[in-house]
């Protein structure tokens, strides 16, 4: 009758094997939970990373370099556009900082980026994202080798193509936690601290001027799918035991950035002083609707 019991004082080989497997699983869960993870109700001190120092060249220096390349007519033809691109980037930086300078401006930009990141985060998987510091960079994309790739003899505006290279000190330092909801909801959190910085972005850029007959002229700028993107990612994962610079995390971040750039690789720029913003927006919506019908 004693053989009917699952466990006895003299366990069989099968019972011992089951107990051994269960003890290993329990030990593994305890190691993960108390060595790498943190309980959901505890507070942890995040370890922010500092972005790269602002040692990169400014767009003003890029323009000066263009002036020294008299033997390169392609670069010279894009000289005016490099000046324009630098001014546009400076305007966007100023708007992101609410036209403030110094620490106050950077702090405004940091808060805006943090708010945007928390609006987009998947709340079931990521805890609140804290942005510790941002570097908006000093330079601007540098264009060269301008060429006309489509000219229809005045029936429609020509398509112009550039080669673009962008190297800057842009970086963001943040921390968050990955939420584990298995085997139960809010089982644990895995702290993650990151610094993401731009190393190199290279691509062809296609520019389509507005049609002369357009009511609200809009400049179309687009990127192809085969661009070069190099990001530098520094990471810390874990609570008491730290995992540094996990390659898979770097691959995941770069893949997501590539996906965003591929999905939003076309920009419509309303030309100032030649039409109202509402009219231009209506024209863009009509063009987008026609494009969706073709798909």
**How many domains, the chain?**
1
10 within some domain: no
- What domain range is 90 assigned to? 79-292
Residue 104 is predicted with a pLDDT of 94
238 within some domain: yes
Overall average pLDDT of the 31-44 stretch:
54
24 within some domain: no
Separation CA 197–CA 234 (nearest Å): 9
70 within some domain: no
Terminal CA-CA length for the chain? 73
14 within some domain: no
Task: Tell which phi-psi region holds residue 102, choosing left (phi > 0), alpha (psi between -120 and 50) or beta.
Answer: left
Instruction: Reply yes or no on whether the pLDDT at 214 is more than 70.
Output: yes
pLDDT band at 264 (very low <50, low <70, confident <90, very high): confident
The kind and range of the H/E element at 288 are: helix 277-294
Instruction: Reply yes or no on whether the pLDDT at 182 is more than 50.
Output: yes
Least confident of 57-61, 93-97, 125-129, 280-284: 57-61
Whole-angstrom CA distances from 124 to 61, 130, 157, 178, 245 are 46, 17, 48, 9, 24
44 within some domain: no
What's the pLDDT tens digit per position in 48-79? Answer: 444 434 444 443 444 344 444 444 445 446 78
Whole-angstrom CA distances from 113 to 23, 41, 119, 133, 268 are 46, 26, 10, 10, 22
pTM of the full structure: 0.65
Instruction: Output DSSP code: residue 72.
Output: -
208 within some domain: yes
Pairing mode of beta strands 142-150, 188-208? unpaired
Q: Is 215 helix (H, G, I), strand (E, B) or coil?
A: coil
Residue 130 is predicted with a pLDDT of 95
Tokens 């507070």 sit at which residue?
43
2 within some domain: no
Separation CA 205–CA 142 (nearest Å): 11
């Amino acid at each position: 009758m004693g053989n009917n019991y699952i466990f006895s004082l003299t366990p069989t080989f099968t019972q011992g094997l089951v107990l051994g497997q269960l003890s290993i699983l329990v030990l593994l869960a305890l190691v993960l939970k108390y060595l790498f993870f943190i309980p959901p109700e505890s507070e942890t001190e995040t370890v922010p990373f500092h972005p790269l120092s602002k040692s990169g060249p400014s767009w003003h220096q890029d323009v000066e370099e263009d002036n020294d390349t008299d033997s390169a007519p392609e670069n010279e033809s894009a000289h005016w556009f490099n000046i324009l691109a630098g001014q546009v980037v400076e305007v966007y930086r100023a708007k992101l900082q609410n036209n403030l300078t110094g620490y106050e401006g950077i702090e405004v930009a940091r808060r805006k980026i943090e708010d945007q990141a928390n609006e987009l985060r998947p709340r079931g998987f990521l805890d609140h994202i804290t942005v510790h510091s941002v570097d908006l960079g000093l330079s601007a994309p540098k264009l060269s080798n301008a060429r006309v790739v489509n000219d229809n003899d005045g029936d429609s505006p020509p398509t112009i193509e550039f080669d673009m290279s962008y190297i800057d000190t842009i970086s963001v330092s943040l921390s968050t936690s990955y939420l584990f909801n298995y085997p139960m909801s809010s089982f644990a959190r895995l702290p993650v601290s990151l610094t993401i910085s731009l190393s190199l972005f290279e691509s062809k850029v296609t520019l389509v001027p507005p049609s002369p007959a357009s009511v609200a002229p809009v400049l179309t700028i687009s990127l192809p799918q085969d661009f070069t993107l190099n990001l530098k990612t520094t990471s810390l994962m874990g609570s008491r035991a730290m995992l540094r610079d996990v390659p898979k995390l770097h691959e995941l971040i770069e893949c997501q950035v590539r996906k965003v750039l591929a999905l939003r690789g076309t920009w419509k720029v309303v030309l100032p002083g030649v039409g109202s913003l509402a009219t231009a927006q209506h024209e863009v919506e009509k063009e987008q609707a026609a494009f969706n019908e073709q798909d």
